[in-house]
Structure 1
Amino acid sequence: MSKTFDRVAALTFLAIGVLFMIESLQISKSTYGSVVGPNVFPFLLGLILVVLSIKLLFETIGYPSTRGEKQRLQYKKFWMIFISAIFYAILLEPIGYVITTFLFLIIGFQTVEKGSIWKSIVIAACFSFGVYGLYVKMLQGTLPSWPIWLK
Structure 2
Amino acid sequence: MNKKFDRYASFVYLLIGIGFVWQSTTISASSYGSNVGPNIFPLGLGSLLILLSIRLFYEVLKAKDHGGEKEKLDYKRFLMIFAAAVLYAFFFEDIGYILGTFLFLLFSFQVLERGKWLKSLLIASLFSVGVYVLFVVILEGSMPGFPSWLSLS
Structure 2 length-normalised TM: 0.95
Deviations 1:78-120 (A, max 9, x none): 1011101101110111110001100111111111111201100
4+ residue runs over 4 A deviation: none
Distance 1:149 1:127 in 2: 23
Residues 3, 66 of structure 1: 8 Å contact kept: no
Q: Unpaired segments of 5 or more residues in structure 1?
A: none
Distance, in Å, in 1 between the alignment partners of 2:121 and 2:26 is: 37
**Contact preservation (8 Å) 1:88, 1:101:** yes
Deviation readout 1:35-80 (Å, 9 max, x if unpaired): 0101001110111111011001001112222343111110011101
Structure 2 counterpart of 1:30, one-letter code: S
Letter in 2 for 1:85: A
Q: What is the rounded CA distance, in whole Å, between the counterparts of 2:130 and 2:64 in structure 1?
A: 39
SS in 2 for 1:5: helix
Question: Is contact 1:6-1:57 (8 Å) kept?
Answer: yes
Counterpart secondary structure, 2:17: helix
Tell me the equivalent position of 1:34: 34
CA distance in 2, matches of 1:122, 1:72: 31
**Corresponding residue number in structure 2 for 1:64:** 64
* Counterpart for residue 100 of structure 1: 100
Residue aligning to 2:111: 111
Which consecutive residues of structure 2, in runs of 5 or more, have no partner in the other structure?
Answer: none
Comparing 31-40 with 139-148, greater Cα deviation is found at: 139-148
The CA distance in 2 between the partners of 1:19 and 1:36, in whole Å, is 21
Q: Is the CA contact (8 Å cut-off) linking 2:132 and 2:145 kept in structure 1?
A: no
Q: Which residue of 2 aligns with 1:10?
A: 10
- How many pairs does the alignment contain? 151
Q: Structure 1-normalised TM-score?
A: 0.96
Q: After alignment, is 141-150 or 119-128 more displaced?
A: 141-150
State the 1:145 CA deviation. Answer: 2.9
Deviation at 1:144, TM superposition (A): 1.9
Letter in 2 for 1:48: L
Contact 1:2-1:66 at 8 Å conserved across structures: no
Write the distance in 1 (CA, Å) between the matches of 2:22 and 2:132.
Answer: 25
Specify the code of the residue in structure 2 equivalent to 1:33.
Answer: G
